[in-house]
Amino acid sequence: MKRLLLLLLLLALSNAVEINGGGSEGQCKYKRALDPRPHSVSILEFGAVGDGKTLNSIAFQNAIFYLKSFADKGGAQLYVPPGRWLTGSFNLTSHLTLFLERGAIILGSQDSSHWEVVEPLPSYGRGIELPGGRYRSLINGHGLRDVVITGMDISELLGSVWWEWFSSHSLNYSRPHLVEFISSIDVVVSNLTFLNSPASNIHPVYCSNVHIQNITVHASPESPHTSGIVPDSSDNLCIEDSSISMGYDAIALKSGWDEYGIYYGRPTTNVHIRRIHLQASSGSGLAFGSEMSGGISNILVEHLHLHNSLTGINLMTTRGRGGYMKDILISDVEMENVHQAIGATGQCGSHPDENFDPNALPLVDRITLKNVVGINITIAGNFAGIQEFPFTSICLSNISLSVTSDPTTSWVCSNVLGFSEYVFPEPCPDLQSSYSNSSSVCFSFLYSNGHAAVL
């Protein structure tokens, strides 16, 4: 048994080296050049004070209003020098770069009256946490084009008071995020640190062409339901070269909630995630769903390191969701100190109201995981599909997990069909068909003009 485990580990590592050397084509190859803006102003010019005590919401709003006039002149940069800049929520504008110098810290106000309350997103139908409105995020963009948030250092130090309000049920509306872009195109977030978000850190929803790179995201392991990056009903995204450590999900792909997401009908698709360190204390390092009613497809994930997490990779849905999760390829993953390495469930999540259609059954199909190595894993995998509509074409290849539980019971499966090759511990019988007999459904990606295709 030890010799077999060693052989599988060596196979996985050598295969990972081969893929690392060759690289992969995907959405991340379409890098946008961040040319300097022809115009730049400092937040100091609008009366801002970086003492951590003076509220600067009006200064940010006035500066951005002024910079709108440069939209047709090549755009402009708002420069934030070193200091502690306290503010409530504010909106960005198109053709804008928000640049934070090293030592510049944007502090979100801990007075909820400084956060505007807005309508819930149409693909959700109501607030996620509470019915009705939601607090607007700290930094917002709506219907924008060509926006960059970057710099040398950024810290958003504001979450703990929101966590206390959330845990004590003191809030009347759903919590805000740190950064949210809605219906925007050509967005870049890079070279920043995000700390202690009230809920999610970066939430692109109904967006296209989003590039997130070289960021650090952190919240306390005890922070309630905090998430890192949440691509939501968006397409053509790249997330790369970052470290995310959260109380709940580190990266979570979503696309709407039950009948509202089905009606809105915008999927999350053409997403490339690579070279990311993930930690999720009570959630999943990489999560799909559970709100996925608009569909999730054509996802390429590679070179992940997951550690100290409840679950490594998790696909979540339930009856009434509708939609689909399909054509997902995850490869070259290292896991360490993870309770459950891989999960897929059709019994997860609540419903927004009683108007959902219980016959809207989600499709989960063509999910491939390959080249996965894990140590100190408690449960290798738990796949629990829907009886009326099982999960299909779950493909596992070259996976070696050192489990602390009984290897003969470390996989749990129901209502799932799939294929496996070179997997240890040996998976459930429903996942043991040979890859050689299933080449037409176990697949890899070929990208053309940013769009993934199944081979």
pLDDT at residue number 33:
75
3-state secondary structure of 48: coil
Task: Write down the pLDDT at residue 57.
Answer: 97
- pLDDT tens for each residue of 43-63: 999 999 999 999 999 999 999
Residue 210 lies in a domain: yes
In whole angstroms, give the CA distance from residue 194 to residue 204: 15
Positive or negative: CA dihedral 246, 223, 287, 340: positive
**Whether the Cβ atoms of residue 177 and residue 136 lie closer than 8 Å to each other:** no
* Residue 413 pLDDT > 60: yes
Q: Is residue 301 exposed (0-12), middle (13-18) or buried (19+ Cβ within 10 Å)?
A: buried
| pLDDT tens-digit readout, 391-405 | 999 999 999 999 998
CATH number where 243 lies: 2.160.20.10
pLDDT over 60 at 10, yes or no: no
Q: How far apart are CA 98 and CA 174, in angstroms?
A: 26
Residue 449 clears pLDDT 80, i.e. is over it: no
186-219 pLDDT tens trace: 999 999 999 999 999 999 999 999 999 999 999 9
Across all residues in the chain, what is the average pLDDT?
A: 89
Which pLDDT score, from 0 to 100, does residue 173 have? Answer: 96
Residue 186's nearest CA partner among 31, 29, 38, 66 is 31
Q: Is the dihedral of CA 269, 295, 207, 139 positive or negative?
A: negative
Residue 116 lies in a domain: no
Q: Is the pLDDT of residue 250 over 60?
A: yes
Structural domain of 424: 2-37+77-105+139-157+176-454
| pLDDT given at position 438 | 52
Which helix (H) or strand (E) segment is 364 a member of? strand 363-384
Give me the phi and psi of 222, to 5 degrees please.
-90, -5
Contact by Cβ (8 Å): 40, 76 = yes
Taking the C-alpha atoms of residue 279 and residue 292, their distance in angstroms, rounded to an integer, is 22
Q: Report pLDDT for 14.
A: 36
Identity of the residue numbered 166: F
- Structure confidence by residue, pLDDT tens digits, 142-201: 999 999 999 976 555 567 889 999 999 999 999 999 999 999 999 999 999 999 999 999
Confidence grade of residue 20 (pLDDT, cut at 50, 70, 90): very low
User: Does residue 134 lie in a domain region?
Assistant: no
Q: Which two tokens stand for residue 115?
A: 């956060």
Residue 165: inside a domain, yes or no?
Answer: no
Residue ranges with strand state E in 385-424: 391-403, 411-414, 416-424
Average pLDDT of the residues in 270-295: 98
- Render pLDDT for 308-330 as a digit per residue (tens, 0 to 9): 999 999 999 999 999 999 999 99
Q: Cα dist. 325→89, 188, 234, 238, 242 in Å?
A: 34, 26, 14, 18, 25
| Dist CA 120 CA 134 (whole Å) | 6
Q: Answer for the pair 273, 305: CB distance below 8 angstroms, yes or no.
A: no
pLDDT surpassing 50 at residue 453: no
Q: Would you place residue 11 in the very low, low, confident or very high pLDDT band (cuts 50, 70, 90)?
A: very low
E strand intervals along 152-289: 179-182, 185-190, 193-195, 200-205, 208-213, 216-218, 227-229, 235-246, 251-253, 268-280, 284-288
Beta-ladder partners of 150: 99
The β-bridge partners of 318 are 347
Long-range contacts of 60-69 (CB under 8 A, 24+ apart): 60/87, 60/90, 61/90, 61/91, 64/90, 64/91, 64/92, 64/93, 64/96, 65/93, 66/41, 67/39, 67/41, 67/93, 67/96, 68/93, 68/94
Q: In total, how many domains does the chain have?
A: 1
Residue 420 domain flag? yes
Strand order from edge to edge, sheet including 104-108? 51-55, 83-87, 104-108
pLDDT of 9 above 80: no
Strands (E), 234-267: 235-246, 251-253
Q: Give the pLDDT confidence score for residue 152 in this predicted structure.
A: 76
In this predicted structure, the answer to whether residue 342 has a pLDDT above a threshold of 80 is yes
Alpha carbons 150 and 189: distance in angstroms, whole number: 6
- % of the chain residues with pLDDT over 90: 83
> In the prediction, which pLDDT does 22 show?
37
111 in a domain, yes or no? no
Residue 46, token pair as written in the block: 């609008």
